[in-house]
Amino acid sequence: MNINQIKCGLHVSISNGINLAVDRAKEKTCNTFQIFTSNPRSWRSRTLQINEIIKFNKKLHESGMKPVFSHIPYLPNFSSPNMIVYRKSVKSLVEELNRCNRLDISYIVIHLGSHLGKGRRIGLKKLTNAITTAFNSSNGKAILLLENTAGTKNSMGSTFREIQEIIDQISDNHRLGICFDTCHAFAAGYDLRNTTSIGETIDRLEEEIDLERLKVVHANDSKGKLASHIDRHEHIGKGYIGNNGFRSILHTDIFRKLPIILETPIDSQNDDSKNLAQIRKLAK
């Protein structure tokens, strides 16, 4: 696969109209992208107007940028023992599935949440019930991508085995896939710094999860050291994974064939364009 065939993009804004996300992705030379379909810091989601849905779908079709990924907002916690938060979270997921159905978005990345100290078994039950309820209560057919976590306190899904356990508990699991976040994996203890360690990580992944479920890579360097459980994204090559790690990741068949979405910082050091250019340089 040559560099032009690699699907690589960014998380782009929907400010002033969701259809403008396609324009922003094109301007930044993406050939795939990720969005929030609503305000990520609010429980309320604005109803999408039919004209903006039509514009989005038309622009998306004309751009050829597929697949497109939606990311669930920040507030939902599908593993929460707090029933008020839990019910709002399930409602949010149902709405997201329905919106993505109208927008012709096939994948929704979700964070798996925190059991808030009540224990992993309770968290697992809440999480799997939330996903099952959302599937049964929505019209959308998008695939939910379970994003691996960094292993912060009380979080769900920081190991491949835990993610497979979640998948096993859901009967309609053909609609489940995996989003592999490099920063989170590294912070959780999966070494990605060179070809050998990446091979070992893939072996562990293959032992515990069907590799066909991998649908996208969130490419983020890590501010935290290996197994630090610190969820802090860093610019590509500037963190503890480093350029050598990302070069090795991008030249590994299983990852190279997947769409790559960057969620790197924007600050005085670097911006989206520079991180995207760096990924493409390392992929050559």
Distance of alpha carbon 135 from alpha carbon 144, whole angstroms? 10
Distance of alpha carbon 247 from alpha carbon 99, whole angstroms? 36
The residues, any chain, with a CB within 8 Å of residue 101's CB and separated by 6 or more, are 138, 139, 140, 141, 142
DSSP characters over the chain: --GGGS-EEEE---TT-TTHHHHHHHHTT-SSEEE-SS-TT-S--PPPPHHHHHHHHHHHHHHT---EEEE--SS--TT-S-HHHHHHHHHHHHHHHHHHHHHT--EEEE---B-TTS-HHHHHHHHHHHHHHHHHH-S--PEEEEEP----TTBS--SHHHHHHHHHT-TTGGGEEEEEEHHHHHHHT---SSHHHHHHHHHHHHHHS-GGGEEEEEE-EESSPTT-----EE-TTTSSSHHHHHHHHHTSHHHHTS-EEE----SSS--HHHHHHHHHHHH-
Active site residues: 41, 71, 74, 111, 147, 181, 184, 218, 231, 233, 263
